Structure 1
Amino acid sequence: MSQMLAFTLLMGILYIGDIISAKTKAWVSSVFVCAVLFIIGYWTIFPANIVEVAGIPSVVATLLMYLLITNMGTLLSVKELINQWKTIVITLSGIAGIVVLLLTVGMLFFNLQTILVAVPPLVGGVVSSLIMSEAAQQAGLMSLSVLAILIYVMQGFAGYPLTSIMLKKEGKRMLAKYRSGEWVPTNEQEQEKTIKEEDEEIPKLFDKVPKRYHTNFSRFFRLSIVGMFAYYVSVWLAPFVSVSPFVLCLLFGVIASSSGFLEKQPLQKANGFGFAILGLMLFIFDGLKNATPEMLKELLVPMVGIIVIGVFGMYVFSAIVGRLLGVSKEMAFAVSLTALYGFPADYIITNEVIQALTEDKKEQEALTSHMLPPMLVAGFITVTIVSVVLAGIFSSILSNL
């Protein structure tokens, strides 16, 4: 298959996802539609390496991840990041719900080994999935090794539509309060500051540099500096503590924006955001090539059972803790659901729900300030931190059984 044919086919899938999402007003997520179409493609006409053939190999996807996450950090302030402590508590409670229900109710249907292998991939990403897959192989549990990868690949099919539904309910509720004057969103509480920051095309550390030198490449250059710094700090910390460079990208993006090294959303201003999201989404869907029909048939029951029980536990625990912290059950469940997919799906689903709910720019900004920060923070907490810790613990237990 030629590169341009591969690229055109994949663009068609992404566009169909957008059309269906727009037609259904985000009740059916574009991410969900694309995932289904990718599965069909891999089972029929797609070569296994179609994403790489189209021009997005893993090294490019990793680069885009650094740029995108750093860019996302510029959407938050240090104050907003600190204010997300409730999100972190709710997210951890949702993960606790998965673990508790699977180790209790789940044990009625599946053995301990199956539960141990399944939990980390369910609350995380590719790293935790690979850790558990390798641990299962070493224990001689080949089918469970496949199950770890399969849950990672398929969990989004539960997470995408549920998140859309929860965010739509939350968005409608907050829009009603906003229109009635009951709610003043964060972005309007500091309106003057926000307007000033949005109007600024030049970050304050470089305000004396002539505007003609602030080119698209200068923005990419500064973004890459922050991303590079995040990478090397994670390397330096590695002997003492394992910290994902992507978590540091988010943190350093916040700091760089607050200190005036980066402007708000530099990737958009450098006209690179759309392509970066495109490339990263293709790479995420690339993982679906591992889900063969035979694999699904063999492991369908344990996979579905584990996901259903786990997600129910997540809902119960996050709703209870959310209520105690004054967060709606819809928002609490939505942030917990980020464990099933992480970034960039959390950003894309949130954004398309907001656009489906209102076309008013001011209302979109209000909803964005309310929903996007917790969704981003939750995604990084679950996928990049907690899941890897759980994988380390559970793989150790599995090897000792």
Structure 2
Amino acid sequence: MQPIYLALLFIAIIAIGEVISIKSRARIPTLLVVVATVFVLLQTGILPEEYIAASTFVAVGGVLVPVLIVHLGTMIPLKTMFKQYQAVLITLIGLAFSVIGVIVIVTLLFDYATAVAGAGPITGGIIAYIVTADGLREAGLTAIIAIPITVFTIQNFFGMPLTSIFLARYAKKIRADETAADAAQGLAPDSTEKEKSYVLPKEWMQSHFVIIFLLFAGGALAVFLGQFTGINASLWALAIGVAAAALRFLPERSMEKANSSGITMIALIFVVINSLIGVTWDQIVASLLPVMVIMIVGIAGLMLGAIIGAKLFKWDTNKSIPVVLTALYGFPGDYLIVEEISRSEGRTEAERQRIMDELMAPMLIGGFTSVTVGSVAIASILISTL
């Protein structure tokens, strides 16, 4: 089948998910619909696994991941980044409660190896899953490799709806803040942006191609630094984006300025879809009982930690819980859900922008803290104890 036909098929699924998200006011996230639909199609044989790679979007999405993270860095002003230390600490508290709960309770009900198999993936994404699965193979525990696979596959189905519920509640509170609404309407961000000067000539920064080149240059630099230092490239990409915007090498919201955000997000969704390859019904059924215990205990620990963190830092729990729950899906799910919530809950463009500005930074920081850093460290430490 021609790649254009395959791309059309998957984009149709994404569009259907978007329509469902709009109709449900983001209670059912687009990414959840896409993941569930593609998983069912793969398991029933309607959709051959090779079709995903044949669409060519997976390769494009893989290239664009560091580029988009650089863009996300330009979306968060440096002053905002300094203020997000609370999001980092609250997320770490949630991770600690989740891991301790899983290790203690799952070990008592099953065994320690089963607890380790689930503790890493429940606090993060694909990297934590890979570390855990490889460690189990090296330890000769191949019989329970289905546990991290299943946890990694189904945690989205729990994390994203819960996040949408709490974020929607918090968005309504932002929307009801009339003082903030009046202030936001008087900011005139476009004119403020125009008054700022760039390092490169202003005429160059009006070119979409120059901005895209700079984003790719930042992404390439992040990958190089990741390989050279051993620090995850995503962290470098985020730091490069923040620094480039602060130093005026890039405009704020760079990809939007280059009119390139839509097709980029589609390509990234293909990366998520590709992670479903290799997961079977039999694996899920065989590990269902321990996985469900791990999910319940792990998510309860995340939420308990978020509530305690909210008390310590005087946050609204409707904000702290979603920030910690980013551990269940990470990037780009955190970005997509905030975008959906701002679109569905904001009645005006000013309200939508205020919701985005309030939620995007802590959600992204929470996701990077858990999925990119915390979960990898947790999985690596726990696997070494087997």
| TM bucket normalised to smaller | over 0.9
C-alpha RMSD of the superposition: 2.0
Pick from 346, 350, 354 the counterpart of residue 334 of structure 2: 346
Residue 103 of structure 1 deviates from its aligned partner by: 2.1
In the alignment, what sits opposite 1:173? Answer: 173
> 2: distance between equivalents of 1:190 and 1:378?
30
> 2: distance between equivalents of 1:342 and 1:301?
25
In the alignment, what sits opposite 2:13? Answer: 13
Residue 110 of structure 1 deviates from its aligned partner by: 2.3
Residue 189 of structure 1 deviates from its aligned partner by: 11
In the alignment, what sits opposite 1:196? Answer: 191
In the alignment, what sits opposite 2:256? Answer: 268
Residue 9 of structure 1 deviates from its aligned partner by: 1.4
Which is further off, 331-340 or 125-134? 125-134
In the alignment, what sits opposite 1:314? Answer: 302
In the alignment, what sits opposite 1:226? Answer: 218
In the alignment, what sits opposite 2:209? Answer: 217
For residues 176-187 of structure 1, the aligned pairs below 5 Å read 176=176, 178-179=177-178, 181=179, 183=180
Distance 1:302 1:270, change over 3 A: same
> 2: distance between equivalents of 1:98 and 1:286?
27
Amino acid aligned to 1:17: G
Amino acid aligned to 2:356: T
Deviation readout 1:251-288 (Å, 9 max, x if unpaired) = 11011011110012222222221111101111112212
Deviation readout 1:316-347 (Å, 9 max, x if unpaired) = 11101112201111111100011111111101
> 1: distance between equivalents of 2:287 and 2:146?
9
Residue 203 of structure 1 deviates from its aligned partner by: 5.7
In the alignment, what sits opposite 1:46? Answer: 47
Pick from 221, 236, 242 the counterpart of residue 248 of structure 1: 236
In the alignment, what sits opposite 1:76? Answer: 76
Native 8 Å contact 1:150 1:290 kept in 2: no
> 2: distance between equivalents of 1:12 and 1:297?
29
Deviation readout 1:95-150 (Å, 9 max, x if unpaired) = 01111211223333221111111111111121211111011112221132222122
> 1: distance between equivalents of 2:137 and 2:103?
22
> 2: distance between equivalents of 1:226 and 1:295?
40
Aligned length: 385
SS in 1 for 2:134: helix
> 2: distance between equivalents of 1:189 and 1:391?
45
> 1: distance between equivalents of 2:292 and 2:123?
15
Where structure 1 has 5 or more consecutive residues not aligned to the other structure, the ranges are none
> 2: distance between equivalents of 1:172 and 1:388?
34
Native 8 Å contact 1:130 1:149 kept in 2: no
Native 8 Å contact 1:94 1:336 kept in 2: yes
Native 8 Å contact 2:32 2:156 kept in 1: yes
Amino acid aligned to 1:273: S
Where structure 2 has 5 or more consecutive residues not aligned to the other structure, the ranges are none
> 1: distance between equivalents of 2:240 and 2:349?
28
Native 8 Å contact 1:164 1:353 kept in 2: yes
Deviation readout 1:330-383 (Å, 9 max, x if unpaired) = 111100011111111101011101111123011111111111110011111111
Which is further off, 255-264 or 267-276? 267-276
Distance 1:104 1:4, change over 3 A: same
> 2: distance between equivalents of 1:117 and 1:266?
40
Distance 1:358 1:190, change over 3 A: closer
Amino acid aligned to 2:54: V
> 2: distance between equivalents of 1:217 and 1:203?
19
Which is further off, 229-238 or 329-338? 229-238
Distance 1:195 1:217, change over 3 A: closer
SS in 1 for 2:385: helix
> 2: distance between equivalents of 1:375 and 1:359?
22
> 2: distance between equivalents of 1:7 and 1:269?
26
For residues 351-390 of structure 1, the aligned pairs below 5 Å read 351-390=339-378
Native 8 Å contact 2:133 2:148 kept in 1: yes
Native 8 Å contact 1:69 1:249 kept in 2: yes
> 1: distance between equivalents of 2:332 and 2:255?
15
> 1: distance between equivalents of 2:18 and 2:11?
11
> 2: distance between equivalents of 1:46 and 1:88?
40
Native 8 Å contact 1:51 1:286 kept in 2: yes
> 1: distance between equivalents of 2:279 and 2:154?
8
Native 8 Å contact 1:94 1:313 kept in 2: yes
Distance 1:84 1:3, change over 3 A: same
SS in 2 for 1:289: coil
